[in-house]
Structure 1
Amino acid sequence: MLCTRECFVFFATLVFARLSSQCSNYGYPFENHLSTLTPYRLVGNKSFERIHYEGCVPQKIWLLIRHGTRYPKYSAIEQMNSRLPDIKDLIIDSGGVPNEFVKNRDFDLLKKWKLNLETDKNNKLTQEGDEEMLILAERMQSRFPLLFDDVYSNTSYKFKHTHSQRTKRSAYYFAAGLFGKNTAKDVWFPDPLKKDPILRFYKLCDRWNIEVKKNPSAQEEGRIFENGPEISEVVEEVNRRLNLKENRLNLGDVKLIYDMCSFETAWNKLSKSPWCSILSHETIRVLEYAKDLRYYWQDGYGHELTYKQACPAFKDMFNFLQNKNRFPRVNAYFTHSGTMLKLLAHLGLYKDDEHLTAKNYDSMGNRLWRTSLIDAFGSNVAFISFGCGSENKVLAMHQENIVRLPACPDSDLCDINSIRDYYYQSLSSCDFSSMCRIK
């Protein structure tokens, strides 16, 4: 039986509340508004408590994990290296700070700030990313000790990553969290595909790439918002906070400051980026919404094809869990933001009552589609099958929190037949070649 709209809104709100409750702002209001550059420590469930259901035994787990915290891409590193020092000098030379917004301590940090970031680090995993994967593996092992044996066997475990350093290294450190670093060196990872049909299915969807990703009209809401009054006010406010009357910063500068604030927050647990002090809480929220708009219309609910094309990943999960073979017990995939968001939308999670648009920022303060919470570095989705007598039931988790699927809004454990019925089209009519063919 399909969930009614009312019960769907209830369980989606419950999931969002659970995620929100895990977040800590460490005294800084900006940390929970960094979109897909948010560090996993702010969203992951930190409990090591074993998950147990009376009369049920865990049998298998299917994991999809976004890589951990990374360095910026090549072009962003070049821009940060070239423009941010100029902005720093402009702020210092203007004499407008310190002031009531940028305090002495933040100004001192800004004066000492240097970016020692070589372009050859582009998109590579950071030490924080290593630690995110280690602790994630340790917690999952603690929750499901019957599934995660600490002695490696390629019969029990199936690992797979994409053709990138950040997912390969994420997979290694996840394995290190389970077995130790010495054993992790001997774990077998199959050679990655450049365009994996499960881990990066959208790379193979020509129609989506043309009609959505590379189609300017498909991203119209984001462009309208960036040219609208909220963003205009953001640029004005940043210049006011810095008392810049001449040589004013533009939107590109503000977005660069936001990204540097985000990356340095992700890289450093104990210290605050001086760039964050330049941005007010409201400015950060507006910039976050601009990114949420982009991901909503590119990777989320904005276009039906975007999330329908995730059916190969969904089928892979379902077939793995319903397979009667005992091994492998663990299927762990390491992938990217684009895969994570499309699968979440395919599942029907974090769906708001209305589309995110350029015109409804004010009414979307409590939206479910917040990439800061649902697609941080290290984000993960897990499906665990349980044998409950003669029944096969499935537990779903996101960010290590239990979530209820729309197939079973009133129960943590969902009968696998209910999942099959609810997602019938995904399982029976997943003609990826046809839906992705250019028409």
Structure 2
Amino acid sequence: MSSALLKVALLWLALAILNGNVHADSSSRFALNSLFSTKTPYFWVKNNDEAVDEDSEFLYDAPGTTDSTKSCLSFHVSALIRHGIRYPGLKWIKRMDAVYEKLTKSAVGLSQKSEFIKNWSNPFPHDKEHSLAPLGQSELFALGKRFGQRYKSLFEEETDKIEYFISSKSRTADSRRAFHEGFSKILSADDDEFGDQAPVLDDKILRFHSRCKKFVDQIENNDTALGEYFKFKNGPEMNQVYNDVIKRIVHDDDLLNADDVITIHQICAFELSFFGKSDWCQYFEQRDMEVIDYFNDLKHYWQKAYGYKLSSDMSCPLVRHIFQQIDIALHDFEDGEDFTLGTFRFAHAETLAPVYAALGLYKDPEPLRANNFEKQTTRQFRSSKILPFAANLVFVLYECEPDVDMEDFEESDEENIYVKMFVNEEAVIIPACGEILCKYSDVRKYYFKHVDRCDFEKVCEINKVHDEL
């Protein structure tokens, strides 16, 4: 087979795995349910075979009215995109090694279904920890193509009016590069003509969580802040999972502990996303996966999103950057000047979750707690759906005017500017107006605190007298 054909074959296989189409065992049932929290591949949430509708121009009828059809044309896109599938962190890789050592060196016999462990070796090398995986590159390449298809009319003749931002982590730079390759493949037959704009590295806006000392000290590194998470970890639902899973693996119930079961779940998650199958997944039933999914959601909810006001407040440098860049584009658009058509930022789950909270997205009526698992089966805050690898939040600005024969139309230019928000390519209800299409001026006013009153130093200053927790 030629190198070109081999490359095509490997890309086909990668995309097939991403779409959940290549499975050889019972683990396939979990890929389709997307129950792996932030370790869920993007194309288990979004079907890559689904047709992409161009969103550059559309007609909009406001609900409940008969005379407000608007013709809308997009003129600016602002996106925040999580990196693609990555290798596990070193902490988890070492834990995987430790579980393997414990099971293979013990004198206690493995169950019949565990014989594969004797020949298993950890497929995740230490020196790859946290780096973007080949499948992550394929994931972002495919996402870039989808964005190119969706906004083709906007970008195809203005390919130099794009800005890229990345964090200091290599996985965001590699994700941006793969995204750009897919994006340019749709927009230009000549890669040299399209060019590749050098990204701006900016941790101040994309890794604000690591720069906020108050967050690091009082939430991220403070077990007290994750009280609900630890209650659930030691509660009846998780204890049932531990007991059932351990019995399926080994004859001695005392050989493995709760942390080992959680580690085995991580092996299952990563192997399934990398290879499309994992023998380790056979130890879990559907109920087990749902319980562990909620367990992980508790951590993300309390640490990164709605658990504490600080989590959303500290995202204001990024929220401000999003709206300020939009304001600049809008000003230049109205003045007939050249402006940036697209701003694309590549970051992390720890970046997206606080921004969701700042925007008021996916906020459940009742907080996620250790004692309301059964009540939260239809929760909005489900990290496997809203924070998978390659998760994306997109603002699109439109100039909207009446479609036909509206008399006495004398609205100002500002009143003609509308905005949509998309999460993972699906339009979401914007809290500012309760619709999927809002006047930009209304949205801008709704979030003014995060934009015009952002004082990151004050938000993240540790006040020993008034501790949030």
Q: TM-score, normalised by structure 1?
A: 0.85
- How many angstroms apart in 2 are the aligned matches of 1:44 and 1:415? 28
The answer on whether the counterparts of 1:66 and 1:378 sit within 8 Å (CA) in structure 2 is yes
- How many angstroms apart in 2 are the aligned matches of 1:388 and 1:111? 64
From 73, 83, 86, the equivalent of 1:67 is 83
Distance 1:109-1:145 versus aligned 2 partners, 3 A rule: farther
Q: Deviations over 1:306-349 (max 9, x none)?
A: 11221221222222223222421110000011010000111111
Question: Aligned ranges for residues 191-270 of structure 1 at < 5 Å?
Answer: 192-193=201-202, 196-242=203-249, 244-268=251-275
Match of 1:96 in 2: 111
The answer on whether the counterparts of 1:123 and 1:166 sit within 8 Å (CA) in structure 2 is yes
- How many angstroms apart in 1 are the aligned matches of 2:199 and 2:389? 23
Distance 1:239-1:82 versus aligned 2 partners, 3 A rule: closer
Identity of aligned residues (%): 29
- Give 5+ residue unaligned stretches, structure 2: 1-18, 60-70, 333-337, 402-412, 464-469
* SS in structure 2 of the partner of residue 56 of structure 1: strand
Give the Å deviation of 1:87. Answer: 3.0
Question: Aligned ranges for residues 372-411 of structure 1 at < 5 Å?
Answer: 372-389=384-401, 390=413, 391-409=416-434, 411=435
Distance 1:430-1:191 versus aligned 2 partners, 3 A rule: closer
- Give 5+ residue unaligned stretches, structure 1: 1-22, 99-106
The answer on whether the counterparts of 2:87 and 2:129 sit within 8 Å (CA) in structure 1 is yes
Aligned alpha-carbon RMSD (Å): 2.5
Match of 2:453 in 1: 429
The answer on whether the counterparts of 1:310 and 1:346 sit within 8 Å (CA) in structure 2 is yes
Match of 1:414 in 2: 438
- How many angstroms apart in 1 are the aligned matches of 2:181 and 2:248? 46
Distance 1:148-1:308 versus aligned 2 partners, 3 A rule: same
The answer on whether the counterparts of 1:45 and 1:401 sit within 8 Å (CA) in structure 2 is no
Match of 1:277 in 2: 282
Count of matched residue positions in the alignment of Structure 1 and Structure 2: 401
Answer with 1 or 2: which has the greater Rg: 2
Match of 1:169 in 2: 174
The answer on whether the counterparts of 1:171 and 1:334 sit within 8 Å (CA) in structure 2 is yes
The answer on whether the counterparts of 2:83 and 2:389 sit within 8 Å (CA) in structure 1 is yes
Match of 2:62 in 1: none
Give the Å deviation of 1:247. Answer: 4.8
Question: Aligned ranges for residues 5-404 of structure 1 at < 5 Å?
Answer: 27-29=28-30, 31-44=33-46, 46=48, 47-51=51-55, 52-54=57-59, 55-84=71-100, 86-87=102-103, 94=109, 96-98=111-113, 113-149=120-156, 152-153=159-160, 156-180=161-185, 183=192, 187-190=196-199, 192-193=201-202, 196-242=203-249, 244-268=251-275, 271-323=276-328, 324-325=331-332, 326-389=338-401, 390=413, 391-404=416-429
Match of 1:16 in 2: none
- How many angstroms apart in 1 are the aligned matches of 2:192 and 2:199? 17
- How many angstroms apart in 2 are the aligned matches of 1:274 and 1:53? 47
The answer on whether the counterparts of 2:75 and 2:398 sit within 8 Å (CA) in structure 1 is yes
Q: Deviations over 1:184-203 (max 9, x none)?
A: 9962324524xx22111222
- How many angstroms apart in 2 are the aligned matches of 1:37 and 1:133? 15
- How many angstroms apart in 2 are the aligned matches of 1:225 and 1:73? 24
Match of 1:4 in 2: none
Between 1:65-74 and 1:325-334, the stretch displaced more is 325-334
Give the Å deviation of 1:94. Answer: 2.6
